[in-house]
Chains A and B, each alone.
Chain A
């Protein structure tokens, strides 16, 4: 049944008894044409585009837990595309284009809200770096503009633009198409749309082994729900990518770190946009429910524990209280951690691996949510055709051999 206001009204008269399951909960088949490992936003989007644009219907997405239960449901939902390097610009802006009508395409309100994403400059080096972004983005046709401190204050009135603070705001960039979306809805929307096209979403189906034939190519998966034969596997397992790839004997330039986020108690609207400060490490927006959504940093050590130290959260709140002194009396309601897979150049790896039939999409670090539609779209092309989409072609594993890194971190201190 289509999601629409009319159907919602109709259902409200019958106690909403008529809504079907949003996705099927099938038993695994013995074989699929392709299997995606990881039912997060990126994995589900991959499967959806493989079905919708490449006509592959006999495919599955497997996950050791519940769909959308990993980083998709744990991030601060920031969306933007004002990256520095041309390769990144193309990738993230492709995603931003897809965000525009994702709700309509999926028939699921993902609540993409282009509220504007502002990045603060606190020193002259920041100003130089951010202006370089503005110029690069303008050439690429990506909206990103420079704001004076006064203009920044006007856009986000609770911002402390006083010159008397420790690190005064010297200006900001603003991407007006940047914003937020409802993270769970993205996973659920892709799952529902993919399932409707015939994609089997197999939850609680943990991959325990990747089997290979005599030529070394992928031949199937061993899972907790039985063996699955397939010649094509796309791994989209975020923080657990190293573990999954290890089953095929593939080592990657990846490290997994805890990343924390937190929300305040809900309050009436006080924050109209997304504000990011890489320099003093603070990221904040306000959800539709009224919670201030705050991104903290990663812990310094590799961990799969999905928890981090309190000092990481308090450090972030130092900065939040400095930027937004009115929030000091608000309270932290909930904090949580995810496992982020980080590459040496802070850009993702999307492409082939040394094992024929095995593809990987990983390394999104702390900023993968915004790329969800674009990542799924280009990776679907990669897995379905075996060849990269032009947009993901530069994001190879081979760049670590050649040295042709796409280093967003080096230029901007931190990529988010």
Chain B
């Protein structure tokens, strides 16, 4: 079970969250049919770092974005909706534990 860094609440167990797929998909309603199909369905599905959406469903209820390595499942960053994707974090040195749960302290 993952330990997911909610940017609002801090690290919490996966049971409290729902994954909501790839992040940063522009809703290109003006695109042609192929472009719209790509908005709806086509995905990078990367083997490596993914920017993905989570919702802290049984917590603060907020959607947020996170960077995660899909090979190790280690989280690299989490950030709020609307914030740009952080620059590619440095690769995790071999043998070092993935940095997880780097969330901020809960706010009042």
Contacts and interface: CB of A to CB of B under 8 A. Distances in A.
A–B proximity contact (CB within 8 A): yes
Interface string A225-255: 0000000000000001011000000011111
B47 A400 contact: no
Interface in B4-38: 14-15, 18-19, 21, 33-34, 36-38
B19 A301 contact: yes
Interface string A39-64: 00000000000000000000000000
Contacts of B44: 242, 251
B1 A305 contact: no
A365 B45 CA distance: 14
Interface string A298-319: 0011111101011100000000
Interface string A254-266: 1110000000000
Contacts of B37: 253, 400-401
A104 interface: no
A215 interface: no
B70 A304 contact: yes
A325 interface: no
B1 A309 contact: yes
A305 B33 contact: no
Given A309-B1, A400-B40, A304 B19 contact: no
A17 interface: no
Contact of A344 (B14, B41, B70): B41
A14 interface: no
Given A254-B43, A256-B45, A305 B18 contact: no
A310 B1 CA distance: 6
Interface in B54-108: 68, 70-73
A253 B34 CA distance: 12
Interface residues of A, number: 24
A364 to B, nearest CB: 15
Nearest to B74: A305
Contacts of B72: 305
A302 B50 contact: yes
Contacts of B34: 401
B52 to A, nearest CB: 7
Nearest to B45: A242
A12 to B, nearest CB: 46
B33 A243 contact: no
Contacts of A242: 43-47
Given A301-B68, A303-B70, A305-B72, A243 B47 contact: yes
B42 A311 contact: no
A255 B47 contact: no
Contacts of B2: 301, 309
Contacts of A251: 38, 42-44
A302 B40 contact: no
A302 B52 contact: yes
A254 B40 contact: no
A161 to B, nearest CB: 31
B71 A304 contact: yes
Given A251-B38, A304-B71, A400-B42, 17 more contacts: A242-B44, A252-B43, A252-B45, A253-B43, A255-B43, A301-B73, A302-B50, A302-B70, A304-B47, A305-B71, A305-B72, A305-B73, A307-B73, A311-B1, A311-B15, A343-B41, A400-B37
The list of the 8 closest CB pairs from A to B, nearest first, reads A253-B41, A242-B45, A300-B19, A401-B37, A309-B1, A301-B19, A400-B37, A344-B41
Interface of B: 1-2, 14-15, 18-19, 21, 33-34, 36-38, 40-47, 50, 52, 68, 70-73
29 contacts: A242-B43, A242-B46, A243-B47, A251-B42, A252-B42, A252-B45, A254-B43, A255-B21, A255-B43, A256-B45, A256-B47, A300-B19, A302-B45, A302-B52, A303-B70, A304-B70, A304-B71, A307-B73, A309-B1, A309-B2, A309-B14, A310-B1, A311-B15, A344-B40, A344-B41, A400-B42, A401-B36, A401-B37, A402-B33
